[in-house]
Amino acid sequence: MAGKLQAPLEDVSLRDAEQTARPMPSKTGAADALAAERLKHLIGTPSIVLAAAPEAVATAVEIASALGSDLDLMFVEGVASPSAPRALVGAIADAGSLVTLKAPGDDLAPDVFAAQWRLALEALQRRQTLYAPFRRSLGAAGKTAILVIDTAAPAALAFAAIAAARRRSPARLVLIARRAFDEDLQALSIEADELIVLQPLPRTAELDVGTESQISDREAIGLLTAYRQGGPLH
């Protein structure tokens, strides 16, 4: 289950990020606009956009702005193998409640998995603290939840995120993923009520390709600050 882990947490304070926040050229502008365009059928439908921070913030802000939806944050972290840090043996996600998913075929001893899980949880909690001013814990009951993640490759990241988002009891769940493996699309489409993948990938794809689409914590906080203040986003 090899895959790219989430970007490391930056050593950046919220005050520093907000003070330097300014409209910026979007690294993902074309894809963000495409995602928003494909969701136009939801205009007028009660909805909430859940962004997996930081990588999905730019796309989520674009979608929320286009649809007039509420925007909230969630967090997803891969549980890395101790012998192969670039391979995931599980994932954890928090969209108001914590979900843990172990990868199929994982043969780690329970104590080893638990140790790796704690490392992932610590990383997730540090990011939660950094983004706390932007997290609103909005309810999704009766609404369409639009879950936005940067990569569903490996699929465990998406499955954990979906399970966490489902705990908000949305009427429907739409999954937007920038990238996912071709062979995982059927399983993902079963878990989500609607699936939009902007870049399907063959299993042999090297996931480091295209990392220019990622945004940093500083940039994500800048976008969220501009969105909250009603200013220009790019």
Evaluate whether residue 217 is within a structural domain: yes
CA neighbor of 229 nearest in space, from 134, 129, 127, 130: 134
Rounded to 5 degrees, φ, ψ at 125 are: -70, -35
Evaluate whether residue 8 is within a structural domain: no
Evaluate whether residue 158 is within a structural domain: yes
Evaluate whether residue 58 is within a structural domain: yes
Evaluate whether residue 178 is within a structural domain: yes
158's CB contacts (< 8 A; 6+ apart) are 149, 152, 175, 177, 180, 184, 188, 191
Asked if 157 and 91 touch (Cβ cutoff 8 Å), the reply is yes
CATH code: domain of residue 201 = 3.40.50.2020
Evaluate whether residue 4 is within a structural domain: no
Evaluate whether residue 203 is within a structural domain: yes
pLDDT per residue as tens digits for the range 116-137 = 999 999 999 999 999 999 998 8
**What is the value of pTM for the model shown?**
0.82
87, containing H or E segment: none
144-151, strands of its sheet edge to edge: 98-102, 88-94, 70-80, 47-52, 144-151, 172-181, 194-201
Dmax over CA atoms of the chain, in Å, equals 50
Evaluate whether residue 68 is within a structural domain: yes
pLDDT per residue as tens digits for the range 200-231 = 888 766 554 334 456 889 999 999 999 988 84
Range(s) of the domain holding residue 188? 14-229
Domains: count for the chain: 1
What's the Cα-to-Cα distance from 119 to each of 122, 123, 126, rounded to whole Å? 5, 6, 11
CA neighbor of 47 nearest in space, from 170, 154, 160, 216: 170
pLDDT per residue, tens digit, the chain (234 aa), is: 434 445 555 555 555 544 444 444 455 566 677 788 889 899 999 999 999 888 899 999 999 999 999 999 999 999 988 888 777 889 999 987 789 988 776 678 899 999 999 999 999 999 999 999 999 888 899 999 999 998 876 788 889 999 999 999 999 999 998 888 888 899 999 999 999 988 888 876 655 433 445 688 999 999 999 998 884 454
